[in-house]
Amino acid sequence: QVQLVESGGGLVQAGGSLRLSCAASGRTLSTYGMVWFRQAPRKEREFVAGISRTGGTTNSADSVKGRFTISRDNAKNTVYLQMNSLKPEDTAVYYCAASVSGYYSKYSRYDYWGQGTQVTVAS
C-alpha cells in the first residue's frame, strides 16, 4: 500500500505559476502509473494529466495542454505538476492518484488517492 500527500497549492494571480508535489510513502513510486485530477466546487472531478511508471509517456487534458506539465522523480518518490499561465478556471482541489496496474489515463480507475491541495487563481 502507498500513501500519497500533495503539497504546493495556494493562492496565485492569473498568469502566475505553481508547482504541485505528490510525495509517496510506503512503497516505491516507480511501480505505479500516476495521475493528477482536480475538482472545482459544484463540478465533477476532472482528469488533468497522467504519467507512466518510468516517466517516458505523459498525457494531459486539452484544457491544460501547453500550460501544465506532469513529471516524476522516482528516486525521490515524488510526482510533480508544473502549472504555468494559470487561469481562474484552474481553481480547484488537486489530487494525485496511483494505479497499481500502471494506468495513467482519464478512463482508468485508481487505487490510491491523496487528500488534495487547494489551488486558487485570482483574476
pLDDT tens, residue by residue, 31-84? 999 999 999 999 999 999 999 999 999 999 999 999 999 999 999 999 999 999
Per the structure block, which three cell numbers stand in for 50? 497522467
Assess whether pLDDT exceeds 90 at residue 13.
yes
Residues 6+ apart with CB under 8 A from 122: 11, 12, 13, 14, 88
Grid cell at residue 48: 488533468
Could you give the CA distance from residue 113 to residue 4 in angstroms, rounded to a whole number?
Answer: 6
CA 118 – CA 104 distance, rounded (Å)? 22
Separation between Cα atoms, residue 98 and residue 112, nearest integer Å: 5
Structure confidence at residue 3 as a pLDDT band (50, 70, 90): very high
